[in-house]
Structure 1
Amino acid sequence: MKYRNKLTAIMGASVILMTSACDSFLDVNENPNNPEDAPITGLLTNSTYETSLNVYRGGSAISNYVQYLASPNPSSSSDTMDPLNFSSTWFSLYNVMTDLDVIIKKSEEQDASHYKGSAQILMALNLGMTVDFFGDVPFSQSFNFETVTPAYDNDEELYSRILTMLDEGIANLQGSTAISMGADDFIYGGDVDAWIKFGNALKARFLLHTKGSSGYSAAEVLSAVDAGFASNDDDAKVIFFEQRFNPWAQVAINNENLLLGGWISEQFVQALDGTTYPTVDPRLPLMIGTTDDGEFIGTVNGAGRGDAPEQGARSTLIPGQYYTSTLSPLMIATYAELKFIEAEAALDTDKDRAYAAYLAGIEAHMDMLGVSDEDKTAYLTEPSVSVGAGSLTLEEIMKEKWIALFLHPETWNDARRFDYGYKGMDLPANLNPDLNNQFIRRLAYPDSEVSRNGSNVPSVTLLDRIWWDQ
């Protein structure tokens, strides 16, 4: 694509090495690497790059919960849904938001409306991920450095701010600007029209989360869809470069070197190999590897590798595929996701539109992976997939969206909204007994936050639901 090439990425990488992101608001009141002395160009480079890594970090955190991945070790906390310490993910989210807050303020001083708009969209995304993971979180007192114990804001009220930031960001991108973005933007290379579509795609995503609330409007979701991505060419992604591998590629490489990670859940394998559903999905060999015997065999979440102690006896992520090549992009938001959002939002009022969007979402993901036209046609016309507009259900939409959002943190939001209702998705073996035979509903607040800001940290359990998951 015209705004993405390796040279731009390598040039941007040097900026990242020179640009120090601000330490978290929880670390110190006076930061010796104060980003207010950094130009908005360098801060945007770091923010676009690190936002993609925050999507990876979130996907890594929840991939076992939605049974993309499984641990090779029995009773692993990542499988059994024990409370885990996500301090590094928390700090990474807030470090990016701190830089984005500076971009917004400096853009106002410099009349750089396009920088401000892109920063507002990225702020909405990073704040939205934080709220979706943890519920109530600090925000209003987080970036003035007047306190190291900021108050927590209500998660539902923060969602209103997220949607407002998206609207304001889109409006700022549509206006004039004294300074234009360019190669410092790792996502779109300064393409303002693409940023506007991205903002609308995120608006559709976050509005859909509110589906169970009184303020939900399917028409509003569909309006955002209409202004969002028009094809795979519009996908929001960061392409990696030779100095820094795609992190999922690193997981696959590490696994080959016996640092075990990236083992595929049995649930994911069986959903695509003809076991759970009546057709074999041609995407399976393009997404994961086989065993040494050339078979697709998953690992049972919570049970470990069982009677297969040897490396190569279970399917894993392997280097060189779409998600795991060293220069593969990290997908932030995609056209395929947007089509499934459209399908769900239109399902109750316009079955024909919902069905067309459902098929388009499958096709978009297959095109992304490089599925052949013959295999794509065969799958799309298979009776269990080609169900017809009148028979389309939420179950079909959610199943296909789950496949298309492989390794993406948004799937956990879907899983909770869908009450983990995917066919064949059972509770893991050796489940955390505190969950009372229920699936996890939120992440535990990180240990670092409890120790530094404990008086403000809400008292919650892993079963307490955030505001839209009621």
Structure 2
Amino acid sequence: MKLITKAIYLASALSLTACSDDFFDVNSSVTSPTTESLAPQYRIQGAIENTFAGTLYRGSREVLGVCQYGSQNVANYYSEVWNNEFTTGRYFLWQNSYVYSLPNTADLIVLGKKYNSPNFVAVGKIIRAYIFGVTTDQYGDIVMDDTYDGESPMNITPKFVTQKEAYDKIIAMLDEAIAEINQPSDIELNAAQGDVFYQGDKAKWTQLAYALKARYLNHLAKKSSYDPDAVLEACANAFKSNADNAMRTYEGGVPENDNQPYSSRGYGSSRVDYWSEFFVETLKNSLNLAEPFQDPRLITLVPEAVNGGYKGVRTGEGPVGEKDDYSIGNGGYYTSATSPTYFMTYSEVKFIEAEAYFRKGDKAAAYAALKEGVTADLEKAGVAPADAAEYLAKMDTEVGASNVSLSHIMTQKYISLVFDPETWVDLRRMDYSSEIYNGLQRPAFVNLSIFPNDNDWIQAMVYEYNESDRNYENLPNNDATYRLTTPLWWNTAD
């Protein structure tokens, strides 16, 4: 699958618009939107794939160190110890979301209206809600109303909305999409084979909208407005099996962007030299039993070390001693050239459902949802049926409805969401608790100038320097000490 190249981009933090014939090449008007060149059926693939490149990948690249999935070949790597680019505003999810991802969704909405095809409007809103969701979950307050909409003149000093307002708008956007996706449309979603998610299946797009709605409603567990029944209702209308997963596949061809980003031939391969100690040790005892029982996903996700066995590098420390003693990052289920990248999965929906039931006090339903989520992830990861059955039987005897805990749910979700920026949301919601995530500890050599105490953990990202240069009058407090240590709105109790 090749990256669609005809797309609309912004050429500055929020303001300049251009039409591109090459990936990230900017060469047209810088003063007015351009949406006339393509009908919506030729824009949907670009909207999807540039969201992968600009938001999902960029939102996970540094965060995979924060979440202690991958570890570097050197000690003190900035994203693992929360330093350098994190403190100076050179972490570029902001630019990638607003410059490379959001404009495509805005144009898809405009063109869907122009060509009397509200199904494209709905898809634009679903993807747009995802982009805004990832962005606000890493920064907090974001720009929404004043960003590029495909119709209005550019605003070079856009105003921010609070994260609460952002969440209200995201949920409203998803509800609008659910109402619009099945409305009569003159052009079908896959008319030009551009719907690389669902090949024009509007029922599955509806399920994706509900899955995202469940995700964002569930983030609010610390707020007085949290409604587990609303979360469960969204889950009930979301994915039904792995066949519904929203994902991108790769062919492993010559171009970098035809390879899974974290594979040895992908453009993000250097971000995961090794698997982390925490991730590997979690897989060695994912049920957290007194007598460890190895998770069968270990051998599918993590390559065996050259010298044998499975060993991860402590985050922030780099390999100590013989490098061949450690499991390299490339070559497992998520890090091979043809490995898929997941946008949203059935297993995540079931883990969200399990958490909501657990918070309601219904442990039997929580365990049933948890087991279904684990079953789906074992299948997704290619675990042999006999090994999967043995692991699930162990779950039944050692955990079951009577013993299920939030730790069981969140640990399984952590394993399932490898490289997904959603994991950072969960770690913060769970207060980086080692009681929830058994064995979790702060990285070695963490930046003590900003995080001096053992219970200090990174909470948000600094806004990029180009935004502070251009839009300083509207920018929230962007002092690194404040930004990196202050919990986001959804992570504070009312």
> TM-score, normalised on structure 1?
0.91
Cα distance between partner residues in 1 of 2:256 and 2:203: 28
Cα distance between partner residues in 2 of 1:251 and 1:30: 29
Cα distance between partner residues in 1 of 2:351 and 2:94: 29
Does the Cα contact within 8 Å between 1:52 and 1:237 map onto a contact in 2? no
Cα distance between partner residues in 1 of 2:229 and 2:381: 31
User: What code does the residue aligned with 1:90 have?
Assistant: W
Cα distance between partner residues in 2 of 1:420 and 1:92: 27
Does the Cα contact within 8 Å between 2:214 and 2:231 map onto a contact in 1? yes
1:352 corresponding residue in structure 2? 364
2:139 corresponding residue in structure 1? 134
1:166 corresponding residue in structure 2? 174
Please say which of residues 153-162 and 107-116 is displaced more in the overlay: 107-116
- 1:47/1:193 CA distance change after superposition, 3 Å: same
User: What code does the residue aligned with 2:459 have?
Assistant: R
2:388 corresponding residue in structure 1? 376
- 1:64/1:307 CA distance change after superposition, 3 Å: same
1:55 corresponding residue in structure 2? 56
> TM-score, normalised on structure 2?
0.87
Cα distance between partner residues in 2 of 1:248 and 1:303: 28
**How far is 1:243 from its partner?**
5.5
Cα distance between partner residues in 2 of 1:260 and 1:469: 28
**How far is 1:384 from its partner?**
8.4
Q: Residue 332 of structure 1: SS of its match in structure 2?
A: strand
Please say which of residues 420-429 and 269-278 is displaced more in the overlay: 269-278
2:451 corresponding residue in structure 1? 435
- Determine whether 1:105 maps to 2:110: yes
- Determine whether 1:43 maps to 2:59: no
Q: Residue 278 of structure 2: SS of its match in structure 1?
A: helix
- Determine whether 1:17 maps to 2:5: yes
Q: Which runs of 5+ in 1 are unaligned?
A: 1-8
Cα distance between partner residues in 1 of 2:78 and 2:228: 38
- 1:290/1:280 CA distance change after superposition, 3 Å: same
Does the Cα contact within 8 Å between 2:122 and 2:180 map onto a contact in 1? yes
1:26 corresponding residue in structure 2? 14
Cα distance between partner residues in 2 of 1:70 and 1:258: 12
Q: Which runs of 5+ in 2 are unaligned?
A: 20-27
CA deviation profile, 1:1-28 (whole Å, cap 9, x unmatched): xxxxxxxx35xx4xx1344534345353
Cα distance between partner residues in 2 of 1:384 and 1:265: 28
2:485 corresponding residue in structure 1? 463
Please say which of residues 396-405 and 72-81 is displaced more in the overlay: 72-81
- 1:453 is matched with which residue: 471, 488, 491? 471
- 1:287 is matched with which residue: 279, 301, 305? 301
1:234 corresponding residue in structure 2? 244
Structure 1 segment 186-265 matched on structure 2, within 5 A: 186-241=196-251, 242=253, 244=255, 249-253=260-264, 261-265=272-276
Does the Cα contact within 8 Å between 2:303 and 2:327 map onto a contact in 1? yes
User: What code does the residue aligned with 1:163 have?
Assistant: I
Cα distance between partner residues in 1 of 2:209 and 2:254: 29
**How far is 1:317 from its partner?**
1.8
CA deviation profile, 1:97-117 (whole Å, cap 9, x unmatched): 122112212222222110000
1:387 corresponding residue in structure 2? 399
- Determine whether 1:92 maps to 2:96: yes
- 1:313/1:454 CA distance change after superposition, 3 Å: farther
Cα distance between partner residues in 1 of 2:238 and 2:130: 15
CA deviation profile, 1:123-164 (whole Å, cap 9, x unmatched): 100001110010011111111343212111111101000000
- 1:399/1:329 CA distance change after superposition, 3 Å: same
CA deviation profile, 1:270-295 (whole Å, cap 9, x unmatched): 11124965211110111121221122
- 1:245/1:322 CA distance change after superposition, 3 Å: farther
**How far is 1:350 from its partner?**
2.3
* Identical amino acids, percent of aligned pairs: 29
User: What code does the residue aligned with 2:352 have?
Assistant: I
Does the Cα contact within 8 Å between 1:279 and 1:384 map onto a contact in 2? no
Q: Which has the higher contact order (CA 8 A, sep 6+)?
A: 1
Cα distance between partner residues in 2 of 1:405 and 1:260: 17
